[in-house]
């Protein structure tokens, strides 16, 4: 019996390592990841509304039906991107993800406390190239540094009442994601 403990323990450890490596590599080798599914319904540097989940499935699985969702696929190769989102009456959040789903920044309408949330999205090199006299810490200009050139901006707004869904969707349709230059 004692001779079996070492091979069993080695098998469990090896199996755990293989499982962990497989899980960590999956976003980089998957064909139909979130970015690919979103690219099929939207264009680069443009806000696109996502349809509500239905019987046929959803572009983003496990979406909360209490929220209306819009996305912007960004590409910073040609320069920074400006994101403008009008907050809704109840709750609006903006989340930033890299091409492979790594979240790196999030903000909501409560922390922005404005009538229009305006964010400049750029890489660290693009931010370093800003003129020194540019006030990048001003309250009306939030600068978000992206760790990658491509990624996803996810905009979500809460729908408190079923009858207000179209009103919230109309408000999100006013969101913009465009080249900052």
- The whole-angstrom distance between residue 150's C-alpha and the CA centroid of its chain comes to 11
pLDDT of 50 reads 85
pLDDT of 181 reads 65
pLDDT in tens, 61-114: 777 888 999 999 999 998 999 999 998 888 999 999 998 888 999 998 887 766
Global confidence as pTM? 0.79
Higher pLDDT, residue 30 or 90: 90
Q: Which domains does the chain show, CATH number per domain? A: 34-179 (2.60.40)
pLDDT of 40 reads 82
Which tokens is 135 given? 């006030």
Which of helix, strand or coil describes residue 119?
strand
- pLDDT(57) > 80: no
- Only one residue has tokens 């699985």, namely 61
Beta carbons of 150 and 156 less than 8 angstroms apart: no
pLDDT in tens, 107-158: 988 877 667 888 999 998 988 887 776 555 555 568 899 999 999 999 999 9
In sequence order, the 6+-apart residues with CB closer than 8 A to the CB of 103 are 95, 96, 97
- Whole-angstrom distance, CA of residue 14 vs CA of residue 173: 50
């Amino acid at each position: 019996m004692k001779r079996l403990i070492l091979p069993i323990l080695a098998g469990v450890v090896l199996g755990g390592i293989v499982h962990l490596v497989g899980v960590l590599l999956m976003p980089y080798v998957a064909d139909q990841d979130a970015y690919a599914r979103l690219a099929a319904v939207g264009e680069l540097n443009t806000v696109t509304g996502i349809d509500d989940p239905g019987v046929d499935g959803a572009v983003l699985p496990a979406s909360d039906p209490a929220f209306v969702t819009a996305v912007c696929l960004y590409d910073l190769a040609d320069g920074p991107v400006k994101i403008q989102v009008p907050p809704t009456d109840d709750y609006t959040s903006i989340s930033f993800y890299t091409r492979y789903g790594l979240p790196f920044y999030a903000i909501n309408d409560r922390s922005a406390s404005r009538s229009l949330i305006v964010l400049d999205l750029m890489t660290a090199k693009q931010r370093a190239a800003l003129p020194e006299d540019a006030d990048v810490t001003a309250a009306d200009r939030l600068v978000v540094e992206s760790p990658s050139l491509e990624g996803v901006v996810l905009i979500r707004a809460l729908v408190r009442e079923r009858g207000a869904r179209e009103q919230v969707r109309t408000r999100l349709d006013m969101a913009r994601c465009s080249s900052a230059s």
